[in-house]
């Protein structure tokens, strides 16, 4: 089976797995325990926290380990909202956020919050001008993802951050798909909070992290929580945190090389599609501000689920969208948000590239797509 679904998850790297095993055997104590074994775990956890903070240009006191990216998203938003003046009940987000946040913001709207969902342009980009026009006196929080997992669009965090800083409005970004693939500096982009995840960068599943600027007032979701400075209850998974930090260091050090690799594969794929470009459409072919490892495709007249199953039958693992929404019959929300009707949106598939993806794999996969189109 050839794996082309790296945006859904990645295999753990050898170095991250090695660190996980070593820490699990040596620093097995509860990091909150006061004995020496607990202290070893606490020091390992602190070192892991510092590594991730440094990679983000962040204060380590603002890094909190979570059970994953989705949990980091929801806990961060809840903690920020609890710390805001109750009059600041207007939230701005986008129609193309990850399902973990989109559904949560809809829940908040049903509970009395005033939530504005910005629509992207036809390329999936949010206009800073549109955002500015939606700001109100009671706007307390803006949450806009950095990179979309389904269509790959990248949002201008620095410009958005500058606008919101000048107006003293909190700014959160879901950076799960971009951490390790794009440079992220919380200070340069004026980000008050972000969410990241380990399993998207060749780290273990079941652990993520949230960053909240220590200068920002927030309140714990559950009063009396002691772990992670009150941000999240439960004993911290120290081996996973260490493996997360190891994977993060590794992928950041390889970022330029990986980006070049993805661009070469993407351009080669575009050239291979030329004979069928009227039938097989790569949505990001002419879009610069998009993640090069995410290749969103629409095959005219063929439902994405059929294409995905046929690819699987031929030995290729691809997807029809965010793994968190697989099994839902609704068409891709990002695609309908950028102008596709429901039938067209259901013709969408996504291949996503990883460090292990080769030129030969892309060539063979393209031939499989050709045969599916010919035989349909």
Q: What is the distance between the alpha carbons of residues 319 and 22, in angstroms, rounded to a whole number?
A: 34
Which pair of tokens denotes residue 352?
């996503």
- Please give the distance of CA 137 from its chain centroid, rounded to a whole number: 30
User: 39: buried, middle or exposed (CB in 10 Å: 19+, 13-18, 0-12)?
Assistant: middle
Q: What is the distance between the alpha carbons of residues 362 and 277, in angstroms, rounded to a whole number?
A: 16
Instruction: Decide: 29 and 215 in contact? Cβ < 8 Å.
Output: no
* Full 3-state SS string of 90-150: EEEEECCCCHHHHHHHHHHHHCCCEEEEECCCCCCCCCHHHHHHHCCCCEEEEECCCECCC
Which residue of the set 21, 175, 311, 324 is catalytic?
324
- Count CB neighbours of 335 within 10 A: 25
Best CA proximity match to 153, nearest among 119, 117, 199, 187: 119
Catalytic (active site) residue 175? no
Rg (CA), the chain: 21
Q: What is the DSSP string of 25-79?
A: HHS-S-TT--SHHHHHHHHHHHHHHHHHHHHHT--GGGEEEESSHHHHHHHHHHH
Residue identified by tokens 């990091």 is 31
Active site members: 324
């Amino acid at each position: 089976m050839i794996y082309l679904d790296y945006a859904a998850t990645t295999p753990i790297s050898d170095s991250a797995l090695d660190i996980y095993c070593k820490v699990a055997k040596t620093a097995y104590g509860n990091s909150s325990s006061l004995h020496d074994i607990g202290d070893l775990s606490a020091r390992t956890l602190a070192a892991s926290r510092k590594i991730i903070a440094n990679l983000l240009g962040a204060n380590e006191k603002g890094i909190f380990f979570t059970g994953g990216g989705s949990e980091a998203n929801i806990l961060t938003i809840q903690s920020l909202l609890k710390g805001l003046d109750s009059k600041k009940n207007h939230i701005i987000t986008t129609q193309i956020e990850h399902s973990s946040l989109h559904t949560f913001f809809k829940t908040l709207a049903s509970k009395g919050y005033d939530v504005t969902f910005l629509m992207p342009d036809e390329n999936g980009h949010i206009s800073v001008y549109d955002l500015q026009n939606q700001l109100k006196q009671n706007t307390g929080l803006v949450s806009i993802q950095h990179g979309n997992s389904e269509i790959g669009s990248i949002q201008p965090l620095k410009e958005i951050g500058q606008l919101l800083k000048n107006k003293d409005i909190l700014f959160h970004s879901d950076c799960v798909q971009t951490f390790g693939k794009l440079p992220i500096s919380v200070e340069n982009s004026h980000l008050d909070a972000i969410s990241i995840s380990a399993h998207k960068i060749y780290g273990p599943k079941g652990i993520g992290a949230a960053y909240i600027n220590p200068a920002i007032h927030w309140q714990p979701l559950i009063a009396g929580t002691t772990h992670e400075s009150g941000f999240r209850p439960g004993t911290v998974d120290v081996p996973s945190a260490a493996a997360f930090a190891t994977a993060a260091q590794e992928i950041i050090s390889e970022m330029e090389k990986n980006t070049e690799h993805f661009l070469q594969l993407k351009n080669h794929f575009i050239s291979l599609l030329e004979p069928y470009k009227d039938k097989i459409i790569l949505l990001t072919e002419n879009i610069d501000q998009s993640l090069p490892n995410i290749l969103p495709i629409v095959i005219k007249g063929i439902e994405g689920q059929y294409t995905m199953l046929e690819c699987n039958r031929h030995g290729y693992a691809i997807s029809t969208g965010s793994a968190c929404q697989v099994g839902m019959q609704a068409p891709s929300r990002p695609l309908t948000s950028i102008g596709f009707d429901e039938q067209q949106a259901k013709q969408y598939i996504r291949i996503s590239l990883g460090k292990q993806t080769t030129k030969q794999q892309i060539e063979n996969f393209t031939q499989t797509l050709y045969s599916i189109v010919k035989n349909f």
